[in-house]
Structure 1
Amino acid sequence: MESNPLFWLRPTRKPGAGAFAALFALDSMARATVVTVLYLQAKDLGLPDRDITLLTNVASLSSLAFSFLTPLLMQRFRRRWVYTGGIMLGMCAVLSLGTATMTGEVAGLVLRALSSVAINIGLTLYVMDFIPRHQMIRSEPLRLFSSCLPWGLGPWIGVELYKHFGVEATSALSFVAYAGLMVYFWYLRLSDNPAVAAATRPPPNPLASLKRFVAQPRLMLGWVIAFGRSAWWSMFFVYPTLYLRNHAVDDSWTGALTGAGNILLLLTLPIGWLAQRIGIRRPIVTAFLAGGGLTLLTAVTWNVVPLTALLFLCGAVFVVCLDALGNIPFMRAVRSYERPQMTALFRTYIDLGDLLPGLVYLALQGYFDLRSVFIASGILTLAVGLVATRLPKRM
């Protein structure tokens, strides 16, 4: 009989792409059900659009700071415990949101952002530990494909529960999804891959690695591509919701638009198949240029709500391509012995993709209406598309 009382914590199987896809799907369901309700409730609590932008910036800044702390926590407490802590932060976030108070709204946004940091960094490291580089062009689209139903149906379901039963019902569904994620994660008994861990240096403070990160052009290029994609989605999750509410569109349509944009993740598998044949450079550049152009057009169709909503949806078609392929340049470029600290630095694309454009939007909203947000977002997306042309043609 096993003498170690914690023997059940040890991994019993080598996880594959399917296991990581399932983890990602459960996390997606937990986050997607509240993503639109967060901003609808903020409007119902009386916050103007500019204050909502300020609140999202506060959450992004908190998340950014936590990104640099997470590798140190993983060194001190092990990755599995930090990942578990991230799930618990997510549970606390939806409980705070369920109070339907201004304090709960602020706490919910911040805790949700911190939860995302721990879960995202942990899962990315597990994927790079166990999935060979040459298989990532297949495993990444599969991971994104697994989240298409959670992100496609989650926002709409969350809004319907909010409309008919209150924020408590939405929060309860998200809490159950987090609980499912916790159970499945511990069922897998994930641990660091011993073969990789043996060649990995103990992670220093990521700030100490910033100079090395910036000095590697391929890492920086991968970061910029991921930043541009994240910036577009951060705009999509917040500002079309505010646009539709300001135009007196029923909230059900708001949830449907957010969900429809995300259910397009169904396209990630065919995008992956295409990339295996022609490489990732052309799809990435085309997606940025098309997505940016369509976003700019929303300023022209501003008073035609159905057409503007359609343009957002068409833009999402192209940005989904970036979801399928956008992390691959970094994953292929990062050295194995630098993964923990470099992944923490790379993951800042999510926080800075919220924060930096958000600061620009905050300034613009002091003088202009929401059209200025969509114009700025379109210009940024086009600019990143031009930078992406520096990807090697063989990629």
Structure 2
Amino acid sequence: MATQVRHPIWLPAVRPAGARTFATLYTLESFARASIASVIPIQAYDLLRSEQSVSLLYTMVALIGLSVTLFMPMIIGWLSRRWVYTAGVCLLAVGALFFMTDTLWGQLIGMLARVMGASALAITLNLYIMDNIRKTEFMQSESLRMASSMLAWTAGPTLGVFLYSNYGLLAAHGVVVLFSLTLLATFWYFRLGDNKMIRAGNVAAVNPLANIGRFVSQPRLRLAWVIAFGRSCFWTTFFVYGPLLMVVTGQGELAGGLLVSAGNALLFTAIFWGRAGKRFGARATMAFAFVALTVALLAAALAGESLPLIAGGFLLFAAFFTIALDALGSTAFLRAVRSYERPQMTAVYRTFLDFSELIPPLVYSVVLAFFGLGAVFCTLAVFTAICGFFTWKYLPKSL
């Protein structure tokens, strides 16, 4: 009828997604994950009473998480990005509930839920970033995202260990649930899944093995994976074996949390590294960072268990240079991946995190059977030196 009027439904105006949108989401996600980053290895050690057993537990979890990551494009095709992201947030909260049981099975399931949730969040967030950020702005966007998460990764580990040591499991893991709910509400407020500027999240289901083959066939993607794997191996080692070094040498659980927090406090330098990459080039900056990281790790290995505080200091130097790789490393992938295969290649690229949580603990479990904790850092130094060589030799100067 001509007299009928259809009134529009007014929704709160939300700015188009940009670098600050993704920095906000990543910061909240970081709070949810960082608050128990140091608690998990300490809790696992309290249950198992063996550094080698802790390494094997991490290896088992990473192996299962890897299979989930490879099938993520198919899951996104079934559920769409917004629901995969939502499921990832919920898995972080569910994992926290299992950790509260203080049992070995609860520890295992909690770690699995945490790994699968992190995988879902990382892949979907990267897809949103590639849809909304120009390639020429990736370096600036990524350095902002890393720097914005500084508070979370600085205060979170110490807060988690403090709550765990003084108020127990419910307090330490309850914080994760709180931040997860905040992240979920913020994500739906931004309405990323409904934004018309974003292409549809649905993708055709592709055999994960075919995706791996396609990824491996592209040299620039292979190199981007190696760079990301190298830096992630450091953080896995730092988060797990840094606190263990403090606990085993009698420095205390809080010292382990403070070490991790101090390393994460350096995330504010991501802005500096972003500018350095723009001034001197990503290749030169990342190659230099790998060399400096290797030297710092060797120094930490020499200090070892006999001088744990000095070893911790060198690990902080190593963290400073690893942040350069955090700020610049993903640019190598974001600029190389083709737009029509982003979901599939992003899922394969994301396996660097799963492998970094799988291979180092497996290797370290063998190393620890014959040597002390210092040998862990020496082993990692050998690999970061190799990564630095490949970065300098094969990364394009124009990046």
Equivalent position amino acid for 1:14 in 2:
P
Equivalent position amino acid for 1:394 in 2:
S
Equivalent position amino acid for 1:146 in 2:
S
Contact 1:130 1:193 in 2 (8 A): no
In 2, Cα distance between equivalents of 1:84 and 1:288: 35
Name whichever of 101-110 and 198-207 sits farther off. 198-207
Aligned to 1:392: 396
Aligned to 1:285: 287
SS at match of 1:327: helix
**Is 2:292 aligned against 1:296?**
no
Describe the shift of the 1:245–1:2 C-alpha distance in structure 2 as closer, same or farther (beyond 3 A). Answer: farther
Contact 1:292 1:381 in 2 (8 A): yes
Equivalent position amino acid for 2:345 in 1:
M
User: What are the superposed Cα offsets for residues 72-124 of structure 1, whole Å, 9 maximum, x if unpaired?
Assistant: 11101111001100111110001111122222111111111111100110101
In 1, Cα distance between equivalents of 2:7 and 2:82: 22
Aligned to 1:166: 168
Give the alignment's TM-score, normalised by structure 1: 0.95
Aligned to 2:68: 66
**Structure 2 unpaired stretches of 5+:** 1-5
- Cα offset, 1:378, TM superposition: 0.9
Aligned to 2:341: 338
Q: 311, 314, 318: which is aligned to 1:315?
A: 318
In 2, Cα distance between equivalents of 1:15 and 1:297: 43
In 2, Cα distance between equivalents of 1:366 and 1:18: 46
Describe the shift of the 1:249–1:128 C-alpha distance in structure 2 as closer, same or farther (beyond 3 A). Answer: same
Q: 364, 368, 372: which is aligned to 1:365?
A: 368
In 2, Cα distance between equivalents of 1:252 and 1:81: 37
In 2, Cα distance between equivalents of 1:369 and 1:199: 48
In 2, Cα distance between equivalents of 1:265 and 1:174: 21
- Cα offset, 1:46, TM superposition: 3.6
Contact 1:203 1:340 in 2 (8 A): no
In 2, Cα distance between equivalents of 1:34 and 1:201: 34
Contact 1:33 1:154 in 2 (8 A): yes
In 1, Cα distance between equivalents of 2:207 and 2:197: 23
Give the alignment's TM-score, normalised by structure 2: 0.94
Name whichever of 334-343 and 383-392 sits farther off. 383-392
User: What are the superposed Cα offsets for residues 2-22 of structure 1, whole Å, 9 maximum, x if unpaired?
Assistant: 799xx97x9954211101000
Equivalent position amino acid for 2:208 in 1:
P
- Cα offset, 1:213, TM superposition: 1.1
**1:367-386 equivalences in 2 (<5 Å):** 367-386=370-389
Name whichever of 191-200 and 205-214 sits farther off. 191-200
Identity of aligned residues (%): 38
In 2, Cα distance between equivalents of 1:18 and 1:198: 22
**1:116-195 equivalences in 2 (<5 Å):** 116-191=118-193
In 2, Cα distance between equivalents of 1:196 and 1:187: 16
Equivalent position amino acid for 2:181 in 1:
A
In 2, Cα distance between equivalents of 1:38 and 1:182: 23
Aligned to 2:111: 109
Contact 1:71 1:205 in 2 (8 A): no
In 1, Cα distance between equivalents of 2:67 and 2:349: 13
In 1, Cα distance between equivalents of 2:353 and 2:391: 18
Describe the shift of the 1:26–1:199 C-alpha distance in structure 2 as closer, same or farther (beyond 3 A). Answer: closer
Contact 2:192 2:198 in 1 (8 A): no
Contact 1:201 1:338 in 2 (8 A): no
Aligned to 1:224: 226
Describe the shift of the 1:190–1:306 C-alpha distance in structure 2 as closer, same or farther (beyond 3 A). Answer: same
- Cα offset, 1:199, TM superposition: 11
- Cα offset, 1:187, TM superposition: 0.4
- Count of paired positions: 392
SS at match of 2:342: helix
Q: 212, 215, 221: which is aligned to 1:213?
A: 215
Root mean square deviation of aligned Cα? 2.0
Describe the shift of the 1:150–1:201 C-alpha distance in structure 2 as closer, same or farther (beyond 3 A). Answer: closer
Q: 337, 349, 353: which is aligned to 1:350?
A: 353
- Cα offset, 1:196, TM superposition: 6.4
In 1, Cα distance between equivalents of 2:220 and 2:381: 24
